[in-house]
């Protein structure tokens, strides 16, 4: 959460009202309601470098309607892109909410200036779903080169396709075995922790078997085997194998679209299930 410090009184004439995320501008009826109220209104939020109003344009216009020349304000010191993102998030959270069209237009503007922000980070700020943001990104950036990393809500940069990032780490480690974790991480666009994890896995894991060309064909053969079809335990195993085959190419999407607060739970479950599958393979090897 940004820090704004204590509010202070500023001349209304020093403020800039341009750059609103509202496509139709301020709502006159809402301005009149605010101008008629006797209640103390909260301070506005302004971008200190430009003096542009981030949140509170209706309050500024209401103050002008009452003939006032000053208003209480807090200040944000980030850059223009961060100020616009904050303007959208503040106007989604309270007051007169942005319309869906306003928020969709805000997503397009954010993507033009900071396409490296993740879908979830933009979704949190605009009040739209991450899926909607992803759809707008696809339409707005069709035919343009895409960044391989995104900046998440915590400010950390992560690869769009985590599996591709780990594969790149493996290739770089093989080509540069003496490189440091940070050097590999920088070249692959991942965190040093990811490099360490891949390095440990490569060190501990036996050589991987060649990939199966078509898991679906193998499962089809199992499904046609009467000894599998007419045994309840084998049918249950077949259902598990079939579920994996149907999502064989979806794992990068699962990883990239999973909410960040769920990653630890899913990581724990994935490792547990992977261990069970490995135990089954070892049992069948005997």
Cα(276)–Cα(262) distance, rounded to whole angstroms? Answer: 21
Percentage of the chain exceeding pLDDT 90: 21
pLDDT of 147 reads 57
pLDDT of 73 reads 96
Tens digit of pLDDT for each residue in 155-206? 565 665 566 777 788 888 888 888 888 888 888 777 788 888 888 877 775 5
Dihedrals phi, psi of 226, to nearest 5 degrees = -60, -35
Cα(137)–Cα(144) distance, rounded to whole angstroms? Answer: 11
Helix axes 100-113, 80-93, angle to 10 degrees: 160
Tens digit of pLDDT for each residue in 109-151? 988 888 888 888 888 888 888 889 989 988 877 666 555 556 6
pLDDT of 154 reads 56
∠206-212-205 over CA atoms, to 5°?
10
- pTM for the full model? 0.48
Tens digit of pLDDT for each residue in 10-52? 999 999 998 888 888 888 999 999 999 888 899 999 999 999 9
pLDDT surpassing 80 at residue 250: no
Question: H helices within the chain, ranges in order?
Answer: 28-36, 57-65, 80-93, 100-113, 119-126, 130-140, 162-175, 181-188, 192-204, 215-223, 226-229, 232-246, 251-257, 263-285
Query: What is residue 210's DSSP assignment?
Result: P
Pick one of 3.40.50.720, 3.40.720.10, 3.30.830.10, 3.90.1530.10 as the CATH number of 1-98.
Answer: 3.90.1530.10
- Sign of CA pseudo-dihedral 147, 153, 159, 160: negative
Give the residues across from 65 on adjacent strands: none
| Token pair in block for residue 217 | 């064909």
CA 235 centroid distance within chain: 39
């Amino acid at each position: 959460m940004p820090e704004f410090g204590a509010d202070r009184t500023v001349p209304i004439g020093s403020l800039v009202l341009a750059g609103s995320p509202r496509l139709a501008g301020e709502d006159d009826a809402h301005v009149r309601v605010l101008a008629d109220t006797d209640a103390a209104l909260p301070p506005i939020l302004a971008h200190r470098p430009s003096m542009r109003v981030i949140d509170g344009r209706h309050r500024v216009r209401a103050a002008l309607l009452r003939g006032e020349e000053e208003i209480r304000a807090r200040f944000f010191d980030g850059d223009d892109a961060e100020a616009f993102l904050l303007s959208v998030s503040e106007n989604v959270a309270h007051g007169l909410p942005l319309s869906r069209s306003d928020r969709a237009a805000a997503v397009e503007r954010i993507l033009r200036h900071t396409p490296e922000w993740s879908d979830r980070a933009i979704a949190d700020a605009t009040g739209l779903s991450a899926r909607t943001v992803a759809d707008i990104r696809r339409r707005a950036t069709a035919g343009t080169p895409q960044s391989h990393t995104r900046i998440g809500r915590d400010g950390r940069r992560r690869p769009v396709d985590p599996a591709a990032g780990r594969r790149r780490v493996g290739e770089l480690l093989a080509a540069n075995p003496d490189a440091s974790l940070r050097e590999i991480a920088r070249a692959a666009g991942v965190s040093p922790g990811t490099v360490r994890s891949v390095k440990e896995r490569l060190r501990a894991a036996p050589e991987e078997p060649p990939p199966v060309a078509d898991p679906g064909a193998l499962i089809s053969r199992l499904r046609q085997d009467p000894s599998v079809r007419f045994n309840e335990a084998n049918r249950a195993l077949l259902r598990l194998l079939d579920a994996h085959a149907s999502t064989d190419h979806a794992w990068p999407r699962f990883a990239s679209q999973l909410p960040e607060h769920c990653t630890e739970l899913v990581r724990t479950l994935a490792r547990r299930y992977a261990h069970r599958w490995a135990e089954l393979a070892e049992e069948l090897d005997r």
